Structure 1
Amino acid sequence: MRAYTLEDIVQPYQHYPKIIQHAILRAHTHPTFLVLTKSMRKVLCALLTRTSQKNGLQPIKARTDRVAEEADVSEKTVQRAVATFRQLGWLRPLDSKRSEYGLFTTRQYAFTEELCSLVELPHEGSISETNCTQGTEMSTGAIYVDLSYKKDLRKISLKNRESNPITLPQALRDIVGMGVKETGVCKLRGLAHQAGYRLEDIFKIAQTRLKAIGATGHRVYRYLLSMIEKRSDYAERAAQLDRQGEQTQLHQSCKTDADAYRGRRFMKAGKRVDVFADGDGAIAVLADGSFVTLAKSDMPRLYAEIKAGKWVEQTR
């Protein structure tokens, strides 16, 4: 059997704050916790996921059946584990709250300073239980979110954005014009980079389709995200679109020149060129009287020389 690594221990708790992950790691590695059975350690980790990352002494709410489900043990095991934690001086029960019908809806506990020190959870002994307002995971299973921490990060982010505004390449500004926030474009750009793509290439491919279906805002974001999650050679496809665009532009330019110069005569150093009535070819009469028929493929070069003033128009 393969031995567990530290990564295996922390892996199920990746979505929790780093402080909580560290506390769970300590619960698996500190010698003091060797007195616990494997099932009891699971119960302890389930309780640790409910604690505050700022003050480990703050009350936590835990329903026996919910803890048993999360720890993958029986409710009897949870009860025995809680009793053991109390005997060891790691946990103390608080008054359980009742519903409007007088029934107990959840149990409340608080870790002691001793346990907080063992798992290295920040704690302040001076904070009373009545003044605790820190949100934790509810007995109904809501995920713990440290709102004060998020508010601080938001303030820092807004302040940094004022002094260092987001600058996007011109090729990506059109995504913002379609209703996606600049921060959303930056996130898509980072995800594309992680997948080995350039968001500019992906958007170039998707732009025509997005405009055709009239997508805006979140729909544009989800469409581009779905393309990032697929495997494709977006760089080559974007380069192919560029080549097609160049050919289309050249064809359109030639068509415009053909309309402008059809049926006209030009002279240069004794040479004469008569453009056909359809503009797709011409007859070039040389100085010695001989002539050469110019094909359609030769016309872009002739039109460029006419525009450059190397040929002078003659009236017939």
Structure 2
Amino acid sequence: MENLLILPHNSELDVTTYEKLGVKIFTPETITPNDYAKITIMLGWQLPLSEKILAAPHSDLKWIQTVSAGIDYLPLTELKGKKILVTNMSGVHATPISETVLLYALYFARDFPTVLANDNKHQWAQHSEFANIKTLNQLTWTIFGTGHIGAELARLLKAFHAKTIGVNRTGHTVPSFDKTYAQSDWQQAVAHTDVIVNIMPLTNETTHFFNDQFFQSLNNTYLFVNVGRGKSVQTSALIQALKDHKLQHAALDVFEEEPLPSTSPLWKLSNVLITPHYSAEMADLGNAWQAIFLPNLKAFVKTGNVIENQVNLSNGY
């Protein structure tokens, strides 16, 4: 049976490589409703088109390769019921996200808010303004999520001689972490930390994990970073924690509601850095996708199975 693949808009992928494998290519511009039921493979999840393909009578869809690490936006129960394989891009975004987290930390540690404010005023800053400036090796980091991204961040932090604490489901050890804790022991993990980074996947257990109970347990923690999933953080609790000085700073790339509404109080807090869900972006992203997708595609064409990054639809990652 011929495999039919639909690619996302502007995917920047070498489609001739796929065609040589005997795979017929469709794009959102070339597909017609008559083709929906014939699609075997989907790269990316594109609404509303993907929902129409999945819902097509007698659909032949067998495999979805996402272009993200997270899969919480997929209809996981339906996909599991239909026994559709799902693979993600876990690992592709480890470098850009890790480097972005370092940027966030340096932004506050090197007091760039003051630097930029003086730049805007064309004013030479006095060294006395930087009395509280920090270096990364002075900070203890607790990273929630020790997968590809968390492990890469911890590895980079070791170059700065920073102390690293990891939090994962079981507390299992991971290279580059000085100590790891189980998710249920999070209070011990943050007891003496300076920087908290969320990189956890979104599941029932991690939705609003960072809630009022979490933030109120802190005591003037230096920095909270969210590059994981927006809904893992209860926004109202985070805002209150910043106002109550449970947190000194926050750097946020993902939010419960995106785009972040212009009316959100977060925009007005001077100790908050906001970026537009961009931490995973980098040039030549298509080549990075292909490094995972192409081996999987070759295996799927040959055997009907995939060899890398298959996710557990019950666990949600």
Q: Which TM-score band (shorter chain)?
A: under 0.3
Q: Structure 1 length normalisation: TM-score?
A: 0.22
In our comparison, the structure showing a higher alpha carbon Rg is 1
Greater RCO, 1 or 2 (C-alpha within 8 Å, sep 6+): 2
Higher share in strand:
2
